[in-house]
Amino acid sequence: MLSKSEENYLKAIFHLSVKTEKGISTNAIAQQLDTKASSVTDMVKKLSEKGLVLYVKYHGVTLTDKGEKIAANVIRKHRLWEVLLVQKFNFNWDEVHEVAEQLEHIHSKKLINEMDAFLGFPKHDPHGDPIPDKDGNINFLEKSLLSTIGVNMKAVCIGVKDTSSDFLRYLDKQEIALGKEITVLEKEAFDNSMLIRIGANEFTISQQIATNIYVKNKE
């Protein structure tokens, strides 16, 4: 049974690996986990001895199949807990992260599988991120940033990149939510801000906002 800390390292490496093909650097992991590079070196050695990562000194880390499966399972648990909190316990999507960080380390296969069934086998967490299945497979769906959508095009909001409370509460305030259709009305060349329509509302969003919303093109 892995410790909470070991699980957090595997999860961090997993998330960093999504963007890069190369080995994950010590510093990148340290940054992700808000810890020091020396601590990372220690832990990575341990994970390597346990056969969960491939580690070549000075050349970064990669997850083994075994490590990847464990990481995916931690993420599966995190995201299923988030769904439970939002759907059953009246949590807002900006309130779930901290608690899910704790809950993801609860060890009980029965618990997580029953919860999955109880929730109707959800495919995505409250932020639109895919939930890995029992075997650790993730269904990465294709998604674009809202900022890349052309004028007069329509798109459906399917996720968020930033999951900070500030950002999510901004979206709540503007009534931007998963599943909502967004029409791009104008783009301002100077600052890349956009005029968009959601339902009956029209308003302007900054580039920073537009680069943190994932959408699916609507034909």
Partner DNA sequence: TCAAATTTTTAGACTAACCTAAAAATAAAT
Partner DNA sequence: ATTTATTTTTAGGTTAGTCTAAAAATTTGA
Residue 40 binds DNA, judged by CB under 7 A? yes
CA distance 72 to 137: 7
Least Cα distance to 74 among 101, 34, 113 occurs for 101
Q: Which of residues 54-93 bind DNA (CB under 7 A)?
A: 55, 57-60
Minimum distance between the CB of residue 35 and DNA, rounded to whole angstroms? 4
Report the residue from 15, 17, 46, 169 that binds DNA according to the rule CB under 7 A.
46
Q: Work out the end-to-end distance of the chain between its first and last CA atoms, rounded to an integer number of angstroms.
A: 47
- Give the nearer residue to its own copies in terms of CB position, either 3 or 139: 3
Residue 177 binds DNA, judged by CB under 7 A? no
Residue located via tokens 């093109």: 217
Q: Rounded to 10 degrees, what is the CA torsion of 170, 174, 178, 184?
A: -120
* 144 contact partners, CB below 8 Å, separation of at least 6: 155, 214, 215, 216, 217
- Give the nearer residue to DNA in terms of CB position, either 61 or 176: 61
Residues in contact with its own copies by CB under 8 A are 85, 88-91, 95, 98-99, 102-103, 106-108, 110-111, 114-115, 118
Cα 51 → chain centroid: 26
H-state helical runs in 50-187? 65-88, 96-103, 109-118, 165-173
CA distance 81 to 119: 10
Minimum distance between the CB of residue 26 and DNA, rounded to whole angstroms? 4
- Give the nearer residue to DNA in terms of CB position, either 60 or 132: 60
Select the binding partner of residue 3 from its own copies, DNA, none (C-beta < 5 to 8 A, by kind).
DNA
Select the binding partner of residue 183 from its own copies, DNA, none (C-beta < 5 to 8 A, by kind).
none
Report the residue from 15, 17, 32, 41 that binds DNA according to the rule CB under 7 A.
41
Minimum distance between the CB of residue 63 and DNA, rounded to whole angstroms? 16
The β-bridge relationship of strands 213-217 and 181-187 is unpaired
Binding residues for DNA, how many (CB under 7 A)? 25
Q: Find the part of the chain contacting DNA (CB under 7 A) among 33-41, 113-121, 165-173, 186-194.
A: 33-41
Minimum distance between the CB of residue 158 and its own copies, rounded to whole angstroms? 27
CA distance 188 to 89: 41
* 170 contact partners, CB below 8 Å, separation of at least 6: 209
Minimum distance between the CB of residue 102 and DNA, rounded to whole angstroms? 14
- Site of interaction with DNA (CB under 7 A): 3-6, 25-28, 35-46, 55, 57-60
